[in-house]
Amino acid sequence: MSTETPAHETENAPKQAEGREAAERGEQAVESDELPPFTEQLSQQLGGVKGVVEAAVPITLFVALNPLLPDQMGPLTGLQWSIIISAASAFAIAGWRAARKESIRHALNGLFGIALGAFLAWRSTDARNFYLPGIIQGSIYGVLLIVSALVRHPIIGWIYAVVAQGGKKEWRQNKPLVDILSRLTILWGIVFLLKNAARIWLYYLDYDNALGLVTLFGGWPVTIALTAFTIWAVRRRMRAVEAAAPDED
């Protein structure tokens, strides 16, 4: 029986060894990875400053233009012009990103709601209905957030896993982390429900301009504040757990 090693195995041996070493280095890097910097996590979650601005453009245009434009401008009303300009800006931003081969995820986040709100407002000739899809969507989000936390699968936890841990599921076995993310998810849910309760109240009072302002300033500014607080709270909690670990040993 021949004991010689086949030539192709001999040639592949260095590559296999390199592959094993790379895998080991990768595992060590994963094990020793620290949380990304606070600002990096915040930027990833919100899509950066550019993502925040682009997402806010359509609603800002509608809120600003609707009370300023005259009742009639040529063949269309001021409301209709506001709807056209707002919806067109949302489609233009998504198209511009797609043409530059950039991610359109953040541009698309609100595109469906803007388009549906524009359709409802145009059809009813009532500016309030522009905000109706967002009110319904926000209320559903609030309920889902709280329910997910109560069943110990907090939505904010899964988002955190994607942003800070590359989508890994190890956080599920970390009880302190699940605890803090569950509480934070409930906080998000409560804020969403309170914000949308205020919007529903303004909707039924027919205060369309006030509804627009609450939508605008209760949108991205509140989301940025909640995101920043979430990242800070998680990092603070995990540092406290790590600091207590040596004492327990």
Are 128 and 203 in contact by the 8 Å Cβ rule? The answer is yes
Cβ atoms within 10 A of the Cβ of 23, count?
10
Helix, strand, or coil here: 76?
Answer: strand
Q: What is the pLDDT of residues 1-47, one digit of tens each?
A: 444 545 444 455 554 545 455 444 444 433 334 555 544 555 455 55
pLDDT: which is higher, 193 or 3: 193
Helix, strand, or coil here: 1?
Answer: coil
Q: What is the pLDDT of residues 69-89, one digit of tens each?
A: 888 887 888 888 998 998 888
Cβ atoms within 10 A of the Cβ of 212, count?
24
Question: Which phi and psi angles does 73 have, rounded to 5°?
Answer: -130, 95
The pTM is what? 0.71
